[in-house]
Each structure stands twice: as C-alpha cells, then as structure tokens.
Structure 1
Amino acid sequence: MRRWRGAWLVVVLAALVLTGFGAIGWGWYFSSEVEEDTNFIVSSGSTLTSVARDLEEQSLIANADAFLFRAKILGGSAPVQAGEFELAAGTTPSEILDTLQYGEAVRRMVTVTPGMPSILVYEMLMGEELLTGEIPVPREGSVLPDSYAFERGEDRAAVLARMQAAMQNYMAEAWPKRQPGIAVDNIADAITLASIVEKETGAGEHRMVAGLYSNRVKKGMLLQADATIIYPITQGKPLGRRIRRSEIAAVNDYNTYSMIGLPKAPITNPGRESIAAVLDPAETSALYMVADGTGKHEFADTLAEHNANVERWYAIRRERGEM
C-alpha cells in the first residue's frame, strides 16, 4: 500500500512540474506584450540581464525576471547581439530572444555616389537625423564613393572616418598596381587627376578620358577642364548656368584654363572606376574632346579634327534650340 502511495506521489509531483513548465512554456511561446511594430536597440556590451530590463522598461515584455528565468530554461545559449532589431507586433518573448541572439540587425545606409563633392557628403551626413555629433566638411578627394552602413545614434565622425579609411585602403591597394609611365607620380596627384576624369567623363569613357588628360599633363598643355572652373565658385555643386568668359579667364589654384598642370587639390571625390582609369589609362594620342550629343564625346588628335567635331556639336545644339 505504501508503495502505491509513493508511486502516486511521484506521479502527482511530476504532473505539477510538467504543469509548471507548461505554463512557463505557454507564456514564453504564445503570449506577447509587443502591441505595435517596434525597433529595439541593443547597445554594445549589453548583457541579457540589461537587455531584459530595457525590454520591460519599454513594455515589450511583462517582467524582466520572468523573461530571464524562461530564457535560461528554454532559450538558446548564444549572447545577445549589439544593434537595432525590428520587433513586429505580436512578437513573443521566445521570438524576441531568438531575434536578439540570431537575427539580422537593421542596416541603415548612406551612399556617396562617384563624383559627389565633399560639401554634399557633409550636407548628407549632417542631414541624417539618426546620426549624432558634428563634423567638418571633409577634405576633397578623401572619401571613397560607396554605400556605408551605420547604426541609429552613431557619431557622424565615425561614419566619415570609415569613408575616409576606405579611400586610403583602396589607394594603398590600387597604387602599387599602376601601369608604368602614367602621368602622375604620387597618390595625391592620382586622386586629383581622377577627380577631373570623374567630372568630365561620359558613360564608359573613363580610360579614354584618362588617356587624353594624361597626354595633356605629359605634354605640359592646359587641361582645360570645365569642372575646374566651376569648383572654386560652387565647391563642386552644380553651377546652374553657363560659364562666363570672366570665369574662364579667372586665375586661381583650380582653373585649368589659366594654369598648366593639375589643380592644387581634387575637385570631387572620384569613384573606383575613375581612379583605376588614371592608373591604367587608354593608349591613345587624343588631346581634344567635345560632346557628341549622346552623353559621350568625340575625341581628336589634332586641333583641326577637334574644330570639325565642335562644329558638329554646335549644329546639334542649334537643332535642339540651345543656341
């Protein structure tokens, strides 16, 4: 008789334990305090305990201690990740933990397009409301055009530092691979020449335009790049009108219509394609180019050929009513 009583006691205790675990599991897997889509941020260095307190404080779970207890019994052993995570309405505590341990953090991006001048990089970063802190206008040509991820609340200076480190790293890799006999003999001049190529190039013409300007540099000719006239006036922003004769004749450290050689510094942030073109330009004898009406250019070796191309371009513009 005592054996039967002992056996029933074991059964009853087991049932109570299973019922308790069942209640824990039911609440863990099926209950939710997340009433609307929410982005939850886990700071770097956070522990599961501190995260649980933050979740409770933001009313995303009912009780931090209960969350931690259930996590230790039913959850995974991986640490929580730092970052910003999307929690959809109805997300259960179990799903919250799984998201913070194994889910993908929200990736926010800012993009610097090839040829974006530093003043616009500055305005873009300062205009991003999810970033913090102040930055100066970066040095022209110091930023590598690309897309960059950032976290909500990150310092703008940190994002800018990644952009500038990317340019340094790219040049450190690309410069040793340059072709012999190119028109520049240092990285700074390569970026400056690439910035001109970036602003003066039509689609798919990078190496040809780089070859033309390289020829002019080697021959000691005026580069006569319109973008170098505009840069001192707008710091790289669009001029919004035609260039004036007085601006063509202006003498400064950028205007390649009034000075021989490269400007004193880049006129924009050149992309990889323009930099690569300067380091490996097309083999050409071209010294002149003019727009051909399609977004590209006609190239010429002699001034006579160039003048004929210019007349064709003027005819196109007259047909369009632009002259």
Structure 2
Amino acid sequence: MKRFLFLLAILLVAGAAGGWVWAQRTWVAPGPLAAPAQLVIPRGANGPAIGALLAEAGVIADARLFTAAAWITRGQGPLRAAEFAFPPTASLEQVLEILRRARPVQRRVTIPEGLTIRQIQPLLERAEGLTGDTPPFAEAALLPETYTYQWGDTRAALVARADAAMDTALAEAWAARAQNLPLASAREALVLASIVERETARPEERARVAGVFINRLRRGMPLQSDPTVAYAAAAGPLDRPISRADLDRDHPFNTYRIRGLPPGPIAAPGVASLRAVTRPEVHEFLYFVADGTGGHAFARTLEEHNQNVARWRALTR
C-alpha cells in the first residue's frame, strides 16, 4: 500500500510520462455505480475502511485507488462520518467531494395530526436511523409535523425539537386569540384543539367545529364530544363503535358526563386546530353530526339537530 501511494504521488506531482494523463482520466472517469445509492460512513472509519465500504457498495471500483486519492488530496479536508447520497456513475473526484462537503442525507419522520402518545411512540421507534430510547412525553406535547434528521441523531433530540415546536405554535396561537374566549389559558386552548382535531379532518370545518364548542362552553353545556368518550375508554381511538356503556361511564374525560373541558388533551393537535380554537368561527350553531360526505351538518337548535341525526341514520342503514 505504501509503495502504491508513493508511486501514485510521484505520477501526480512529477507528471511522469503518461502518468498525469492517466491520473486525470482516473480522477474524472465515471464510476461503476449504476443507480443512486445512500451509504452510512460510520464514526471513526479511516480512509482504507471508507474505501472498502464504498467498493463493497459499488460506488467505486478500486478501494486502494480511493485511499490513495484521499491521502493525496487530504489538504482539501477530512472525510466525514454521516449518511451520504451518491449519484450514478459518480467519479472519484465527485465521491471525495461528497464525503468532504455534501450535505448529509436528510431523513424525515412525520407525526400526523390527531395521534396519541400510544400511536406516536412506536412511530418514532420505527424511524430508521434514529438512535437511543424514546423519552417519555406528555399527551399533545409534540407538534404534528414532518421533522428532518440525520442518521445517528437521537430520538431524545427529535422529541425535544417537537416539544419546543408545540410550545412555540401554542404560544403564537394564544397570543393571536380572539377576545372574550371562554378559555382561561393556553393549556385550555390546547385541550380544546385536541378535541377539534379528532372531531373533523376537513380543514374548512375546524373553525366552525371550534365555534360550536366555544358556544357550548359559554352556555355551560356539556361538550358531548365522541372522541373524548373514546379516549376515556381506551386512551385513544377505539377499534369499535362507541357503546351506551361508554357514554354512561363516569370518567373525567367523558364530556357527556362532565361539563366544561376534560382535564387534559386527548391527542396532538396541529397548527390549524390551535388557530381554530383561538380564532373560532362566530356563529350560533350548538350541534353537529356527520352528513355522510365526510363532513358535518350543523344546527342551531336541538330540533334541527335531531333532523340531521335522522338523515345520518337513514344513510347508514
């Protein structure tokens, strides 16, 4: 190996007959990689180890040549440990440039709106490339969002970022809230936003649904939200229809039995739901029920609501 390095250096520096031309061609010649590839360079790997990894993955043709080129061009910077993306036919020059200066691969994990702790934890556990245990976190502590990370980042660091993102989003929504809301704190807004998030998946309905609950809170009416009943029964979405026993259950999260807000959130609300409850639609609706199209029918009176319920039941028979 030392003899190889020495001879290649002589060829590059001295430009021996044909040597310079050969070196230049080798430096920029297309490599053997047939399709885009991603490769993790582990911490502590030296030039020969990196060359072996690249050759095994088919990124380069000759590990010895790579090691020699890396040594000769060492003044251009160290080879970094990270996950890198290599394009097809990447030349030796391109490979070394990627290892020294390219942005590492940005992986992504998405926390969808409306999930509970029990649903978010396994999602983070399955995120490839994250390391370490998932630390404990409270219900609705993490903001639903797509988070980027690099191979080797910790789950604890990602949870901390998502926690800080929720704090920021909630503070911004609360600061921009409408006047005279029947909500005493940002925490209460978070609780109500979690209910709105579970009640409707339609963006155009969130502020209207929030307005219904605001109206009911102002009148001292029970919220009567089915998702809170499901949470009381299973700490999350039920895998069965809500039963009469569920509705009658004496539980602090059962908003058919309690008045006002439950003691905590029932899921992680997104930014849109936080904004909906802090700036709800102003209207006189007190009731809503599914309308059979994925949305809801809203009513001002119990009589109107009962008619909407009858239509819904006719559709589901």
TM-score, reference length from structure 1: 0.82
Question: Any gaps of 5 or more consecutive residues in structure 2?
Answer: 1-12, 56-62
For residue 51 of structure 2, the aligned residue among 47, 56, 63 is 56
1:192 CA displacement: 0.5
8 A Cα contact 2:40 2:82, kept in partner: yes
- Report the CA distance shift for 1:31/1:315 in structure 2 as closer, same or farther (over 3 A): closer
1:166 CA displacement: 1.1
8 A Cα contact 1:35 1:90, kept in partner: yes
| Alignment root-mean-square deviation, CA | 2.8
1:135 CA displacement: 1.8
User: Within 2, Cα distance between the matches of 1:283 and 1:51?
Assistant: 65
User: Within 2, Cα distance between the matches of 1:82 and 1:241?
Assistant: 48
1:219 maps onto 2:219 in alignment: yes
- Report the CA distance shift for 1:90/1:220 in structure 2 as closer, same or farther (over 3 A): same
1:51 CA displacement: 5.8
Which residue does 1:316 correspond to in 2?
A: 315
Which residue does 1:87 correspond to in 2?
A: 86
User: Within 2, Cα distance between the matches of 1:219 and 1:109?
Assistant: 44
8 A Cα contact 1:118 1:139, kept in partner: yes
Q: 1:105-184, aligned counterparts within 5 Å?
A: 105-184=104-183
Aligned residues: 297
User: Within 2, Cα distance between the matches of 1:15 and 1:250?
Assistant: 87
Q: 1:31-42, aligned counterparts within 5 Å?
A: 32=31, 38-42=37-41
1:209 maps onto 2:209 in alignment: yes
1:89 CA displacement: 6.2
TM-score, reference length from structure 2: 0.83
1:268 CA displacement: 0.4
Secondary structure of residue in 1 paired with 2:93: helix
Which residue does 2:278 correspond to in 1?
A: 279
Q: Give the partner amino acid of 2:53.
A: Q
8 A Cα contact 2:247 2:254, kept in partner: yes
8 A Cα contact 1:175 1:187, kept in partner: yes
Secondary structure of residue in 1 paired with 2:197: helix
User: Within 1, Cα distance between the matches of 2:163 and 2:138?
Assistant: 9
| 1:44-63 CA distance string (max 9 Å, x none) | 8x8xxx66354234254325
1:178 CA displacement: 1.1
Question: Any gaps of 5 or more consecutive residues in structure 1?
Answer: 1-13, 319-323
User: Within 2, Cα distance between the matches of 1:15 and 1:100?
Assistant: 27
Which residue does 1:235 correspond to in 2?
A: 235
User: Within 2, Cα distance between the matches of 1:54 and 1:169?
Assistant: 44
Range that drifts further, 306-315 or 246-255: 306-315
1:216 CA displacement: 1.0
Secondary structure of residue in 1 paired with 2:151: coil
Which residue does 1:304 correspond to in 2?
A: 303
| 1:146-179 CA distance string (max 9 Å, x none) | 1111222322111222111111122222221111
For residue 71 of structure 1, the aligned residue among 52, 70, 73 is 73
8 A Cα contact 1:288 1:299, kept in partner: yes
| 1:181-233 CA distance string (max 9 Å, x none) | 12212111111000001111252200000000011112211000000011132
1:111 CA displacement: 0.8
Secondary structure of residue in 1 paired with 2:40: strand
1:141 CA displacement: 0.8
